[in-house]
Structure 1
């Protein structure tokens, strides 16, 4: 559960994101269709600012990058933001290791967190603390499509017709719920459903 409180007599915009990082190579899944945009790609293989539908990110040199599967490149990285389909009630992401068979994920209400971002670092950035030695993939879901200043966030307003931040009224609280789970699976499920309690169901 996430809880936001605003005790001051002022309204504030928020850009809450929930972050999970993986150091092992995993297969990722999110619901579709969805709409994406590539960012932070000027030093990677991805086409900066490209908009695309699905999970195949356009490359600078043509072709596509399969985002659910870890890159086979020796050096890669970048950021994509994903707007979850507005027609869905539940949003989720899944991460599955074909080696350990461990399946991990989150499921939440799309109305609470309409955005999901994927950030990858594969021996790309030479600056500290990365030092061209880090291999990690992070998935974030939240109320904002990307990390930016409060001024930039309010100026943007929305992306793909979906709000890019959320207001917390003065002297009020906001409550949201989401479910995290970990299990063992012989294969990667296609989706997961939540009954709004503490149980979930996987579907191929």
Structure 2
């Protein structure tokens, strides 16, 4: 069972994650995080001695785990890489739409805002993207692609998803995500079929 301190630490990271999605990293102050998390002032530096950057890293890591879990759950439901990609993108489209286009990918937000300002945050974002590329590549390898091709295609897929989230928020429409779902699913199906034909 988690201790009170562990719950407070987790709550701070969760609050930081939510606020990054709506206000950006630069627009999120520690006071806002403490208020959102209903956490006492002293708890921030107790759990995160490095302050905002430390909570930011924890928020990025939390986002990474959530999206990785979404990919793995979609894979179990779909039973194939193309279907998993479509389910993942459709789920994200639902989240973006239901939030009134206020929520996007916090990892992209932190990358764009802090990628040249903080190596620690940039590295956390890079690790997050890698944690999504890896299971996607694993699904593609299971369908016959060699490791290099699977890694390359998985990188393209994650990059397309990230870009379409940004465009969907700007246009206040899920159409870019829907188009990405169609193109990604077709691309994966074509590459998987080609890999199967050469085996």
TM-score after normalising by structure 1: 0.23
Q: Who wins on radius of gyration, i.e. which is larger?
A: 2
TM-score after normalising by structure 2: 0.24
Which structure shows the higher helix fraction?
A: 2
